[in-house]
Amino acid sequence: MERTRVLVVDDEKTVQYVLTTLFQQQGYETASASSAEEALAKLEQGPVSVAFLDIVLPGMNGLSLLDRIKERDPDAAIIMMTSQSSAKTAVDALRKGAYDYIDKPFELDHVVAVAERAASERRLRLENRRLQEEQTRQNQFLQEAVKRLGSLNSAGTGLAAITSIEELLDFIVELVSKELDAERVSLMLVNEQGTELSIAASRGLDKNIVTQTRVPLGSGVAGRVAKEGKQLYSNGDPMDPAVEAGGHPGAHGPFASIPISVSVPVRTPTNVLGVLNVTGRREGRPFDEDDSSYLSALAGQLAVALERARQAEHLQSAYDSLRRTQDELVVTGRLKAIGEMAAGVAHDFNNLLNGILMNSQLIQRDLDQDGVPRDRVLKQAGMVEKLALQGADTVRRLQDFAGIRKDRPSERVDLNDVVRGAVELTTPKWQGELSASGVRIEIETTLPSVPAITGNVRELTQAISNLIFNAVEAMPNGGSIRIATSKSGKGTRVTISDTGCGMTKEVQERLFENFFTTKTHGQGLGMGVVRGIVRRLGGEIEVESRAGKGTSIGLVFPPAQPAEAAGNDLRAIDSGAPTQHGRILVVDDDGINREICVEVLEPLGHEIHTAAGGSDALEQIAGGRFDLVITDLSMPGLSGWDVAKQAKKVSPSTRVMLLSGWSVQQDPEQIRTAGIDLVLSKPVQIGELTQAVQRLLREQRSGPQPVGEKSSRKR
């Protein structure tokens, strides 16, 4: 606290002595002067709290001295001393800023009281000013903090709306450049190998620096920050260790000589993705700890957004791949159900992306708060990862769904055998896993003799298994499932009934809508798969359900047509017919696939030749005719189409089998034009391959015989 200093200015020495003695007795520090000029000299030695000025002084009068003192210290308390004859002048002095005036002669107690009051009010004014200045500083600090929080909030909103990694990084460097008035900003990312940094986005750096810079992890400021995961901050002091660590001795290019003021890691709870560097303000003011904290918070938001953007790009890539597959299927005219799936695909992936986005924003929010448990952030990050994996699983299931095709081999199927297989397949779920958690599920089957149907055992088992899984999931507290087969006026029927939660009318209306699901973790493909199988086999689906009363789903299939079934089944070849042996060329750029074909067919008595590609195959075809050519479709250089056309050109009687790794059916017109006699899709069973070979060789033997010399096996 300021000590009270009193100045007495009067040309009468007695008055000076009396007043200074009086004030010293009160504990005040005193000074005295006989003239205004002497008083001003005293003021050079230090400010005064209170001044008693006689109005009438030799030379400069008291009013002029009042002005001079107020110029020096507006808070000085000035008390004018006057006689009755100069009272008007004293009033004028009050208007000019004097605190009070006293009349001569005066009472000493009154003088002391006036001095104490004046000194007290001065102290209050000074304290108020100090508090006001402190409040102004605090307000400025709060305004800056609010501005920074607003910037972080805007950054979070902006980051959440951006999915492109390039746009994301550019957004951040632009924001930092403007917010901190930074001269240079660089955002560096760790490479896939985790060995070095490169500049992914920047402001204020030469293009050559951006393209040439490579900083090994652990080298220089940025490399150390990336390796240790801790920020480095320099306040501009040349002795600051961060300044001494500046530069990048392991860096390539001019970036090595650029000092960094602040460098913060861009990191998730598990790893460092990159580094955000800032160098110098345009106005020259050094960065402070608030700037460093702001950059750290911003880097935390960026890390989450960057992870989200990468996951989104992966999902988008999977989605684009799916759309390309869908477009191919629409062009071929096969699998119409896939053509109806576009809206469902977008809906499902939007749900996945929404989950990633919301969890990312939760992480952003938590990173902005102090004391947030690390486990909570890790849990949210794990959810982002889980959602991304669900997206990958959705793609796999869609590809499987797209594989339900008319060219899959059909056979006479006993639906009772299919039911038994499906029950056995699902037993680990409803009897093992659920029983272990205290949930009891009972399955009862009623399987009388019923007419056979035409279908594919694997597809039918998948359909009934899906319905069993749906029934189990509809009974979280346990219950019973009844599966019964029966004859129907339309053919053969299998009914799966449960005592579960049932479905509302609204759910039933959307039951077969692509990607619609009521399950917490489902993706709405199960009933789509069932519908695709049943439709392909010419069957119907009947659904009966009431909320809280359970569900019954019936699948009705037309009876098998023996003649049709025999004609469509590769294995329906007369077992009494003589086995055919032929000269076969196997064409595949995959050595394993070639070797497998040799191992399967050569022991059966066939003469096998192999070619590692289209060009090799054409040379062998030109050198000698073959009874059968088995070719892959997609190969470097010449494709399977080219091989088939050349084989038919050399010998029209040569049979050509396309053994394709693609799960989609090829364009029938393109198959016909290329002269391909049969298409088998990989993976193929040995029995399917050998029966197909026998069929084609018998067809070949029934036509004109190829004329070709026998030659030794070539691999």
Q: What is the DSSP string of 602-626?
A: GGGT-EEEEESSHHHHHHHHHHS--
Q: How confident is the model at residue 270 (pLDDT cuts 50, 70, 90)?
A: confident
**Number of alpha carbons in the 13 Å side-chain half-sphere of residue 179:** 25
Q: Indicate if the pLDDT at residue 370 is higher than 50.
A: yes
Specify whether domain 411-563 bears CATH 1.10.260.40: no
- Checking if the pLDDT of 565 tops 60, the result is no
- Domain borders along the chain are 5-128, 162-287, 309-402, 411-563, 578-702
Top pLDDT among 257 and 185 is at 185
Residue 383: the pLDDT is: 75
Average pLDDT of the segment spanning 226-248: 59
Q: How far apart are CA 223 and CA 274, in angstroms?
A: 9
Quick one: what percent of the chain has pLDDT higher than 90?
Answer: 23
Identify the weakest region by mean pLDDT among 418-432, 617-631, 676-690.
418-432
pLDDT at 569 > cutoff 70: no
pLDDT tens, 162-187? 767 888 888 888 888 888 888 889 99
Which is more confidently placed, 485 or 231? 485
Pick the range with the lowest mean pLDDT from 54-68, 269-283, 639-653: 269-283
pLDDT score, position 711? 32
**Confidence class of residue 459 from pLDDT cuts 50, 70 and 90?**
confident
Q: Do domains 5-128 and 578-702 have the same CATH topology?
A: yes
The pLDDT > 70 percentage for the chain reads 76
The domain 162-287 having CATH identifier 3.30.450.40: the answer here is: yes
Please identify, in words, the CATH class of the domain defined by 578-702. alpha beta
In the structure encoding, which two tokens stand for residue 138, read together?
A: 């605090």
Q: What is the pLDDT of residue 390?
A: 58
pLDDT above 60 (res 587): yes
8 A C-beta contact, residue 80 and residue 87: no
CB 395 within 8 A of CB 342: no
**Burial code of 558-597, b = ≥16 C-beta within 10 A, e = fewer?**
bbbeeeebeeeebeeeeeeeeebebbbbbbbbeeebbebb
Amino acid 251: pLDDT: 47
pLDDT of amino acid 367? 79
**pLDDT score for 156:** 64
pLDDT tens digits, one per residue of 468-523: 988 888 888 889 999 999 998 888 999 999 999 888 887 777 777 654 555 544 43
Domain 5-128 class in CATH: alpha beta
DSSP reduced 3-state for 170: helix
Task: Specify the range with the lowest mean pLDDT, choosing from 62-66, 428-432, 577-581.
Answer: 428-432
Local confidence band at 141 (pLDDT 50, 70, 90 cut-offs): low
Task: Give the pLDDT confidence score for residue 470 in this predicted structure.
Answer: 86
- Give the residue, 355 or 343, on which the prediction is more confident: 355
